[in-house]
Structures are given as C-alpha cells and as structure tokens.
Structure 1
Amino acid sequence: MMTAPPFKPGALAGIKVLELGTLIAGPFCARMLAEFGADVIKVEAPDGGDPIRQWRILKDGTSLWWSVQSRNKKSITLNMKDERGRAIARQLALEADIIIENYRPGVLEKWGIGYEQIKALNPAAIMVRLSGFGQTGPMKDQPGFGAIGESMGGLRYVSGHPDRPPVRVGVSIGDSVAALHGVIGAMMALRHRDATGGRVDGEGQMVDVALYEAVFNLMESLVPEFDHAGVVRERTGGALPGIVPSNTYTTGDGENIVIAGNGDAIFKRLMLAMGRIDMAGDAQLARNDGRVPRSAEIDDAIQAWCATQSIASALATLQAADVPAGKIYSVRDMMSDPQFLARDMFEQHHFSDGTPVKLPAITPKLSATPGQTRWLGPALGEHTDDILASLGYDAEAIAALRQARVL
C-alpha cells in the first residue's frame, strides 16, 4: 500500500488553472491537471458549492467522490449573480494559463468571461470549453449531460444484448471521456502557446469539446463500415463482433471470465488447452474470417469447457497456454489483487478528523514527474481568503464581501 511521498513539483508546476464548472466533465479535466502539479482554483457557489459534494456515499455530509474529484484543488466561493463576484472571477481568469468551463454556451459571455472577452485582454489565454453539443450548431443551447452524449455519440446503441434495450456503462463514461479530450486539447494548446512566445507573447486558443463528439471519437470503424458496406454495428452482449472468439463466459463456480482468443495462433492454443483438438485442426477455423460464421459454435464450446472449471483453474490453464484471459473484477477484487498492489494503485490518506481513507493512485505514471495527491478535496471556500489576498484584497475588503454575500 502506497503512502504519498513528500511533494515534488509536478510536470505542470507553475501552470495556473481556473475551474468554472460543476459535476463531472470540467472538474475531472481540472483534476488531472491538479494531480500533475498545476495550481487549480475552483470557483463554487457559496450556497452549497458543486453538487457533486452531495453525490453518492457521504462522510460527514460530503461525498467520498469529492475527495478524489477535487484533490489538490483550491476552493473559492463567489456569487456569480453579483457583479463583484464576476469581477473577481474575471481577474482570476486573466491571471490563468488555462480556464476550464462546462456551462452552456453563452453563460460565460453574459458574465464577461467568454473566450473572446478574455482573449482581447490576454491573447495567450487557453480556454477549455466542455458542453453537451459544442459551441456551435443548432443544438448548442440544449442541456446535454454525459448520458445524452453517450446516446448521441453511438456508445449506448452498441451496449447490451441484442434482444434487450441498450444499457449504460456503470460509470459516467461520457463525461470522463470528454474530460480526457479536454486535457489532451489543453496540453496541445499549451505546447502551441509555448512555441509561439509563451505566457507573455504566445498564441492561446479555445478548446471546444462536445460530449457527444468525444464519445463519437471512440467508435472505431463505425462510420466507414456504414458508409462503404451499409453495416450498422449492433449490440452483441459480451462478444466482440467480427473478431472471434472474444467473449464473456461463466465458470463452474459462478465467476465471469473474459477470454480473448481471437488471434489465429492464440485460437489454436486455446483449443488445444481446452482439449478440442478437432477445432484446433479445423482448417476453416484457422483464420478469423473462417471463424466468424461459426462464432456461436465456438462460443458454445468455450462455455462448455468453462463450466467444468473453477475461475482459478481456468485462468491457470489459459495463462499456461499464453491465452489472454481475465476475471471480471469488482472493487473488492481490485483491493487485494497482487497486480494492483505491485503497481501501487491505492494511496492511503486521512480525512481532517484522522479517519483513514484509500484513494485510487494517479495515472498515467510518469518516471520523472509523477502525479501526487497533496490534499483531498477541500472544504467549501477553504481557500477563499488566501486567493483574494493574493489578488490584493485586504482583510477589511474580504470581510465586506462576505458580509454582502458575495463570498
């Protein structure tokens, strides 16, 4: 179990990020930058803050998710309905290298913090804009959560069994994929800015991420298959269509195992490990294009073999035969798994009251500048006074703003 080492400057040390957004896509994007050393200031509404603070399992009224989603961030409360609050946000935006926002298009413009407004004063600014449908097009003003992006982007249509309605992935994958696109876009924009003059004279830009487009970007050969061959990819349960065999099977002790025997040489090793010499030597099954028409037959054979095995014996046999296979893990499996532990995939931390808590470790793993958890998700407005002081506000001015409910 890994305890976070003393803090070292990360790969993004010195980069200032302003997070204007709630829930998942924008905050997850900013989270990754914070994990690798960026100074991230998160703006929250004074009356409750980001709704994710109250999502899922709570400890002392705050979500356990919050401890991960907002680790290493600083929280300032600003009433964006008040011009004084918006003025502070604008000041922070003008000092930021990267601004991340996931409001509906037009909201920041009403507040005087839109991209063109910031660019006019700071041409080197980079703004990452995450929204349901992007900053243009006939749907730009419609609300669009991750679930809608997953549906419109094609993921939901192909998820599930062919005889049942589409299903969702068990996490907010649309938001998270959009966030990752935001991180990638921010890093490319930062590289371009540095190459054209840096923070002072470099060229910033807007990174426009639509949730449905981020999901759509994952959809492999969906478009050319339809355009060229008229094929609409459909739901196929646990199988990988057109690549045989690759499916989920059930062992005799009730565990689920994924077996990917779809390489030609791998398929032969799989059949020999199962004792199916007949199928291993079948000339039609030697290549994937010959296996596809007989996929049901192959899956039935593999399932029949799995039913005679425990999960442990099946994995041992397949590993000895060099066939890719794996148990489907729950979080309970992960927490005791030797591979997870050897890779230090859990960090031990403590809440402010001393209660221990494990968090997922930070990925990807960088050899020279690894990410680190410096602190857990902050209390609402925890850093408000310090941030305002850095902007030149004295104690009297901060107290007046708090009295006026701007903070």
Structure 2
Amino acid sequence: MKIGVLGAGVVGLTTAWWLTEAGHEVVLIDRAAGPAAGASGANGAQLSYRYVAPMASPKMLMQLPGLLLPGENAIRMSLDLELVGWGLRFLKACTSAEVARTTAAQLALAELSRLELERLLGKVPIDFGLRTAGKLVIFRSASDFAAARPGPSDPARVLTPAECLALEPGLALNESDFVGGVYTESEQVGDCAAFCEQLFAKLKESNRVEVRMNTAIGRPVVQRQRMTGVETDHGVIEADQFVLSLGSGARAFAKSCGFNLPVYPVKGHSITVADDGQSPLTHSVTDYSRKIVYAPLPGATRIAGFADFQGYDATPSEARIAQLKEAAADTFDIDCFCDAEPWAGLRPMTPDSRAVIGPSPLAGLFLNTGQGMLGWTLACGSARLTADLIDGKKPACPAGSFDVRRF
C-alpha cells in the first residue's frame, strides 16, 4: 500500500519508518526544507518514560484563575475562540478518573516507545547523544513534593535535599532552597533534532520512500467520501492512505477534511548552551516548581520550559528566554550565555494530554498527532501503534484510549 505521511517532525518520521518496516511504500510530505523544523527542533531532550501525567488535573483546575493574570507564570494563557472551545474540553478532563485513565494509557505507550526505539537503533545505528542519564525532579514546595511521592511499584527514589546535592554535584543550590527530590534512574536524554536528521537521511536512502520537502500542504482530495490525495503547491499527491502528523497544524487540516480535532499549540522555549565537552550536569534535572528542564547533551546543555497558550506564533519570546537564563544561572554553575541558541516550538496538545492515534472520521485518513509535550518520548511507540492499526494487527499496546471518538 502507498501511504502519504503528512509532516516530517519526529512523529511523522518515525511513522514513515515503521510503515516501511511493515512493507508499505511511503511518500513523506512537509512544507519545510528539512526535518524537525517545528516542535521537534530544540525540545527539552528528555525521554521521560515514567513522567507522563496529564496537564489537566484537579490541581490544575484550582490554579487556572491565576494563570490568566499577568506575571512570570510557568504557564500563560491568552484567550481566543479556539482556546475557549479547547478549554471547555480541558475542564472536563480535570477529574481524578481522567487523570488515572490518561496516565495508564501514556505509561503503556511510553514503555512501548522505549522498546521500539531500542529496536530501531538495533537496525539503524543513529548517534544523537542517547544515554540513560537518570532524571532528578526537584521540588521547592512541600505540598508538590508530598503529592509526587512514588507508589510502591514505582522504581523512583525519594531524596532529601542533601541527597539530591550529592547525586547531582552540578546543582548550585543550598539545602534550604528546596524541600527534596525524586530520582528515576532509568530515564534517558537524547537530541531529538539529531535523531530526526539521521532518520530522515536513512529514509531518503530507501527505495520505498519518496521525499517531498518544500511542499506546502493544502486541502484533501476526496472522492466517494474517501481521501485519495492531497493538494500541494506542486500538484496533487495521491496515495491509498494518509497519516496526519502535522503537529500544531493538524487541527486546520482536519477542519478542511470536515471534522474537528481538538489540538491546540502550546508554546515552549529553550536555549542550548555550548560547553567544552563537560556539561555541568551528570543527570537530567527538572525543576518542578518552575517547570524548567535541564538535559546534558554532547557538547551542550539544553534548558527548556514553559507552556504558553497564546496562538500560533512560534517566535521566541525575549522575556521567556531571559527567564530561562535567569533560572539556569540561579540553579547551576552557568555564568555565560554568549553562545546560547534561543528557540521556541509549538507542541500539539489535546485537552486530556493523550495523543490521537487511529482512523479519522474521513476514510483514507489516519491520525497520529497530539502528543503534546511528550512527542519525543512517545514518537516511536505512536509510530508502531499506527502501523499496527493500519495493518489490522493486534496493537502492541492498548489503543482505545487514543481514539479520536473520545471527543
């Protein structure tokens, strides 16, 4: 079967790979000149397989009024009609039952993703700085720390401030600056953009893949209530099936197909600080209260954070970049940001934080999008699940929670 994959971010690229592995021919289409031009570019670099809880929760419901006020909140919102509609669904997802449902589904998909990434690398060696660095989450609030204590089956360890500082010598904090931490030894880091670039190169070498970059995607071509092609600025591209992995652009394309897809862009920021080969960090670190993550990469430290619900402008905010620099200087021994590379990306978020994976209301169009802030973590699992469902195989992990019909 010939399958058109719309989007060349990490989700689209891994989808293309798994479809070729399943024996399909693929045409990969993206408006950008190269891969990972959107949210996959300079993301937080953490592969957080155990940290998949949704944004929507009873606790978040209590915090919402304050997020609408001006200030340096980790989350910012500017109301627009699209966000209002999305937000009503978000409010419905702020229940303990929905949190439990989403967390269970995401943990299963994350574990599948970890295994599938390992399987991919066994076939195609890719060097993107992957290593099991372990993840330390530090808490500045006693209530947040108490709520984050792992259950009996969770492999994470609870640490005192003194134990956190002993584990991660790069932390330039005093014991009085925070109340404790949670450490998960199995978590990984890796450069998503480097992964995408090398996987893209491998796909281009395949005789089963046709690459159509610099190709603006327009409306679907529908015949007899089935999508048979897509209009582009280089003519119509036809295929037997299409997969929608356009990130924050997925909603607009779905609308042109005649159905609503509640995916809203959540803007995140990052800076990448070059070093002399010796990162100040040994582990990846998350400052839970400030919603900032720090990841050691080869020759650099990635510092990323924030969640801004403010439309489709992907231009880095000078104020947000300044916040990242200030937080980093306060947390680690980083005293020079001369060569720091600012970046911003729009993460495609669903109201319940679960991806949308499965057939769409339009025959011939399959969905694999809406991974939100976990796109890098969940990409390989989402791609495997997509390939299984398209081929009518028993899915490698439960798929019902990701069906678009839940909306």
Q: Shorter-normalised TM-score: what interval?
A: under 0.3
Bigger helix fraction: 1
- For the pair shown, the structure with the greater C-alpha radius of gyration is 1
TM normalised by structure 1 equals 0.27
Bigger strand fraction: 2
